[in-house]
Amino acid sequence: MKLHREGYGIMLGALVATLGLSALNYWGFTKIDSLILFVFIELVLFTFFLLIVQFFRVPTRTCPYGENDIVCPADGKVVVIEETEETEYFKDKRIQVSIFMSPLNVHANYFPISGETTYVKYHPGLFLVAWHPKSSTDNERSTVVVKHKSGKEILFRQIAGAVARRICYYAETGSPAKQGEEFGFIKFGSRIDLFLPLDAKIDVKIGDVVKAKLTRIGTI
């Protein structure tokens, strides 16, 4: 496991704040002389710092699937599987699979298939809760489309939520995409939407807890 580069500044700031508050807590202990209160505050500060660090963990995982498999791009829980109209790029019917990422999940995001990156666009927006019906169209988000060697395309969208305040993405139009390689990061969680061809075989169901690179969403 490693820590993600997107979190270096935040983790450093959290460490400085934790140490500063800890020093202040010790100064208060010398004035009040309450060991129980001192230990309680130290535990709260230590827990706060550990929570910040765990947001940016990136576990070491292999991607054991084949070229026609659609690999899960994020840790989380499947909250939507439905046929819907995709209005930004395809402008036709697709199967939407949505994965909700809680603040306790790993927040790195990975390419679900290999191919060519044919479309990348960032949309500034609001920070509605991730399950809000308009979050996929009104929230801060990024859209990436990868064209498989079969000619089929998959669209996946990072969507910010009420807690997430910054979407990071590294995919570029025209660049190769490799299944299981990182394409982005959402700070503090939110949601990933996948829009798949109507003839895609879906292997997950609503309520499934899924893992990036380890769970197969389906086949293209």
Rounded to the nearest angstrom, the gap between the alpha carbon of residue 34 and the centroid of all alpha carbons in its chain is: 42
CA–CA separation, 130 and 194 (whole Å): 15
Residue 35: which pLDDT band, with cuts at 50, 70 and 90?
Answer: confident
Set 135, 136, 142, 190: catalytic member: 190
Give the sign of the dihedral formed by CA 55, CA 57, CA 61, CA 66: positive
Q: Provide the greatest CA pair distance for the chain.
A: 71
Model confidence at 197, pLDDT cuts 50, 70, 90, reads very high
pLDDT of residue 30: 79
Both tokens of 45, joined, read 């500060």
Question: How does pLDDT run across 93-151, given as a tens digit for each residue?
Answer: 999 999 998 888 888 999 999 999 999 999 987 656 655 555 566 678 899 999 999 99
Q: Are 138 and 152 in contact (CB under 8 A)?
A: no
Residue in this structure with the two tokens 């690999």, named with its chain if needed: 71
Cα 178 to the center of its chain, rounded Å: 18
Q: How much is the mean pLDDT over the chain?
A: 89
pLDDT of residue 147: 98
Establish whether 22 is a catalytic residue: no
Q: How far is CA 24 from the centre of its chain?
A: 35
CA distances from 29 to 19, 42, 48, 92, 161 (A): 15, 11, 20, 64, 39
Weakest mean pLDDT among 92-96, 150-154, 164-168: 164-168
Structure tokens at 90: 């395809």
Phi/psi at 203 (5° precision): -100, -10
Confidence of residue 3 (pLDDT cuts 50, 70, 90): confident
Looking at residue 74, the DSSP 8-state letter turns out to be S
Average pLDDT over residues 149-171: 86
Rounded Cα distance between 38 and 92, Å, is: 60
Q: What is the mean pLDDT of residues 67-83?
A: 96
